[in-house]
Structures are given as structure tokens and as C-alpha cells.
Structure 1
Amino acid sequence: MARQLEEQISARFPVGQRLRVLDVGMGRGTQALRLARAGHQVTGLEQDAAMIAVARETLAGEPEGIQERMRIIEGDGRETGAHFLPGSFDVVLCHGVLMYVEEPDPLLAGLARVLAHGGLLSLLVRNGDALAMRPGLSGDWAGALAAFGTTAYRNQLGLDVRADRLGALTDTLAGIGAPLHTWYGVRVFTDTAVAGAEVPDDVEALLAVEERAGRTDPYRGVAALLHLCGVRD
């Protein structure tokens, strides 16, 4: 999934352009580190001390040049104005974060403010229009029925969280000055894969199918996750 997102983000910019990237809620830093390895200047913002410790330990094992391109800041994504000046970044990532935020609009408005003109706001959210897919494909018919007409669900960590709908986020992005440029489906066919399963021999074919489905209707509309790309106007 990380490679798919990276390719979708990079498609917005000329090949070889070095980007200033902010990863809000970076977690263990997987996506941030991939982008730093690719030559971009990356800032990771995270409030969970345990996640930060893992990210710092991983970064310490990287070559010096990559370490110099990535910095880690402890902080809340809702307080970007306290850490960064307006227009500081070419790309702002907010992946797997909105599901934990009850009122996401102020957070998103703050992220748009730190984007440079023409910059990309990259959101990865649970698809609120397809919550019945996972339980339905798993044969959990009661769970599938309960998923219709709601955006509430229990994630794989056992936490009660919230999904987002494409239409509502499209309106929000327009309202904060970063209207939707394009969107993709993520994990169209692989959402029910068992965590920790062995990588299949035909993984490249699997990735090719997921990438194609993620940009093709009607498949992308029933993906487990949505990747929305808004562009700062």
C-alpha cells in the first residue's frame, strides 16, 4: 500500500522534483521514511511517544544522508500553526488519522494553510460508502447489515472509530481552499487479507491489479480506503 500511495502522490509533480513533505500522524514513520529515501525533505509530526521512539530507532539505522532529510517533531496535528509557517510544504500527508478525529474540519483547514500554492493535501481515510464490504466478504451478514447507513465501525485494533464519505470530504476540501484534484481506491481486493500473511509469489501482479482497480470505476468506489488528493489554490 505504501508504494501505491507514493506513486499516486509523485504523479502530481515533475519527475525528480525534491519536495518538502509534512506527514501528520506519521505513526512509525513508514511512509515518511520511504519519501526521505526517495530524496525528499520530510517532517514527521506525531503525538504518540511510543510511535516516535520506533520511528527514531528506525531512522537511526539509515545512512546519514537520509537522516539529514528527515526530522521528527512531537506534536498534535491540530496545532500545525504553532509549528510551521503558512506555505511551508509542497505535500502534506494525513493518512489514517481522520478516523480518530471527531471534528476533522479544523484539522484539515490547518493542514491546508501550511501548504504552498499548488501543493498537495493527501488524505487516506476509511471509505464510509463501503463499510459493508469487509463483513460481507467475510460472511458476517449481521455485521454487513449493521454497516449500511452509518460511518461508525470498529477497526482492526479494536477501537471504535469513524469512516469518511467521498462526497462530504469533497465539500470540505473545496471549503478550505484545497479542492479535490483526484481520488483513488486503496485495498479493493485485499482488505480481507490476514495480517502477517506471507507475501505471495505473484505480488507484483497483485500490486498491478490493485493499482489499476484503484483508479477505475466502479471498483475504486468499493475500496476499503480512499486516497483523496486536494490541491491548494
Structure 2
Amino acid sequence: MHAVGLSRHSGTPAVRTAVVWDVLRETLAARVAAAGRDRLDIVDAGGGTGGFAVPLAELGHAVTVVDPSPDSLAALERRAAEAGVGVRALQGDAADLGELLPPDTADLVLCHSVLEYVEEPAGALAAMAGLVREGGVISVLAANPLAAALHRSVSGRFEEARRVLEDPEGRWGDRDPTPRRFTRESLLVLLAGAGLRPGEVHGVRIFADLVPSRLLDGEPGAAAALVALEQAAAAHPVLRDIATQLHVLGHR
């Protein structure tokens, strides 16, 4: 993978998203070469305040964010203005993408931390797939139940960890703020059902959520070393399956 990118605002390694950005950079470069255009059309479904959208716009791409929250979209517009870029903001749900945007008009659709919360994940993913041009890609990032079980257990919540493994939605109880989680297998099934060809699955935040923040803050170079560790482990056939999130591309 490419070297990790730095946060445009803080100058520190983006530990939590480095693996995703590595994949996106390679994907964008391949799509630019295939399409013969430097400026790609990107849709960020549920893109919120623009954590991915604004950096993508800074790279010169045309980015549209669709999000149900007017507050998030207002924050997105402020963030884009501060960065000196334009990002189109549309209020709406992921399932309504087919009504908000024309079909076959996107080179890349981001579906990051969305499938966990929509009413019908398969329908939402199908709506996103309808936006993608031939040769385009959907980037899916979703919460992983195996990581939830691991994290509950290391905090001493053993019954909740067991519930995660037994619950079909991967939840640890009624107070769990995440409505559902996805294993690697269930994500691949969803992508195939939407008519997409799944790519390689990567683990995101395999170690980052287990490391105390004081270790990163107090040790020079620790954050960069953790990023390198995350990158090295992202495609590991065992470690990726215990990552906090799973990232996979769906190719049209």
C-alpha cells in the first residue's frame, strides 16, 4: 500500500482511516486512468460533515454528499468553505438516492458507516449501485460484530460479548447504539445481491481501538508506527476479521 496520508488540518497520521485512504487512493488512480478524466464524479452517501468528501474535493474531484441531517450538511459546507473547495450537499436518505441523483453518473460511491443504520441495507446498497457507471466502484465500510465481542470482553462485559456472537444482527443488547453489524461473509453477500463484484476485504482499526491513547500521545512516532502496523495487518486473513470495521470495494 501507499504511504499513509496526513490529516490536512492537524498534520498527524490519520490512524483510524489510513487503511481506507490507501485503498481509495489506488482506486481513484485506477479509475482516472480507465476513464481518461482527472476529475471523477463521487457520491458520499451519509457523508455527514465531510471527513472523506472534503479531502476528495481537495484532490480535484466533483463530490456530492447526501445526508439526512441538515446540521451535518451545514457543517460540511463550512468545512468545505474553510478548505476552499466546493462540495454539493443534498438532504436525503441512502434509500432515496435513485430519486435524488441520475443513474449511471458516479465513478465512486462511498457507503461508510451507513448500512448499520438504514432500514433496509440491501435496498440502500442497490440504490447506490444504480448510481455507479460501468467500471465504477462502491466503497463499503461497516462495523464488525467480532470486534464488538472482543471489545466488550476486554472491558469485562462477558455476557454482552456472548450476546454479540449469538445475535443475528451482532448487537450486545437493547442499549447497543449500533442497530446491526456485518461479518465479512454477510458484506460479500450484500454486494453480490446488488450486482457488484466484491474486491478484497480489509480490516480497519484492528489495533487502534485497543491501544490506550496515552501511548500515542506520549511516545514520539507512536502514531505513525501504529498506522504502519494497521496497514501491514489490514489484509491478514485472521486479523482482518477482528477489526472494528471491515472495508470492501464493490465493482460495477
In structure 1, the partner of 2:82 is: 61
How far does residue 99 in structure 1 lie from its aligned partner after superposition?
Answer: 0.9
How far does residue 230 in structure 1 lie from its aligned partner after superposition?
Answer: 0.7
Query: Using the alignment, how far apart are the partners of 1:167 and 1:160 within structure 2?
Result: 19
SS in 1 for 2:107: strand
In structure 2, the partner of 1:14 is: 29
Query: Using the alignment, how far apart are the partners of 1:189 and 1:43 within structure 2?
Result: 32
In structure 1, the partner of 2:149 is: 132
Q: Does 1:108 align with 2:125?
A: yes
Pick one of 212, 220, 225 that aligns with 2:240.
220
Name the aligned partner's letter for residue 72 of structure 1.
A
Structure 1 residues not aligned, in runs of 5+? none
In structure 2, the partner of 1:164 is: 182
In structure 2, the partner of 1:145 is: 162
Query: Using the alignment, how far apart are the partners of 1:137 and 1:27 within structure 2?
Result: 31
In structure 2, the partner of 1:26 is: 47
How far does residue 196 in structure 1 lie from its aligned partner after superposition?
Answer: 10
How far does residue 109 in structure 1 lie from its aligned partner after superposition?
Answer: 0.5
Pick one of 197, 200, 211 that aligns with 1:182.
200
Residues 184, 58 of structure 1: CA spacing in aligned structure 2 closer, same or farther, 3 A cutoff?
same
How far does residue 165 in structure 1 lie from its aligned partner after superposition?
Answer: 2.1
Query: Using the alignment, how far apart are the partners of 2:73 and 2:140 within structure 1?
Result: 21
Pick one of 90, 98, 111 that aligns with 1:94.
111
Structure 2 residues not aligned, in runs of 5+? 1-15, 33-37
Contact residue 154 and residue 160 of structure 1 kept, 8 A: no
How far does residue 128 in structure 1 lie from its aligned partner after superposition?
Answer: 2.7
Query: Using the alignment, how far apart are the partners of 1:83 and 1:171 within structure 2?
Result: 26
Contact residue 50 and residue 76 of structure 2 kept, 8 A: yes
TM normalised by structure 1 equals 0.88
How far does residue 195 in structure 1 lie from its aligned partner after superposition?
Answer: 7.9
Query: Using the alignment, how far apart are the partners of 2:214 and 2:117 within structure 1?
Result: 24
Contact residue 216 and residue 223 of structure 2 kept, 8 A: no
Contact residue 92 and residue 115 of structure 1 kept, 8 A: yes
Query: Using the alignment, how far apart are the partners of 1:60 and 1:222 within structure 2?
Result: 38
SS in 1 for 2:201: strand
Query: Using the alignment, how far apart are the partners of 1:60 and 1:103 within structure 2?
Result: 34
TM normalised by structure 2 equals 0.82
Deviating more after overlay: 120-129 vs 16-25: 16-25
SS in 2 for 1:190: coil
Aligned pairs, number = 227
SS in 1 for 2:148: coil
Contact residue 141 and residue 248 of structure 2 kept, 8 A: yes
Query: Using the alignment, how far apart are the partners of 1:55 and 1:38 within structure 2?
Result: 16
How far does residue 114 in structure 1 lie from its aligned partner after superposition?
Answer: 0.5
Contact residue 98 and residue 104 of structure 1 kept, 8 A: yes
In structure 2, the partner of 1:211 is: 231
How far does residue 29 in structure 1 lie from its aligned partner after superposition?
Answer: 0.9
Name the aligned partner's letter for residue 174 of structure 1.
A
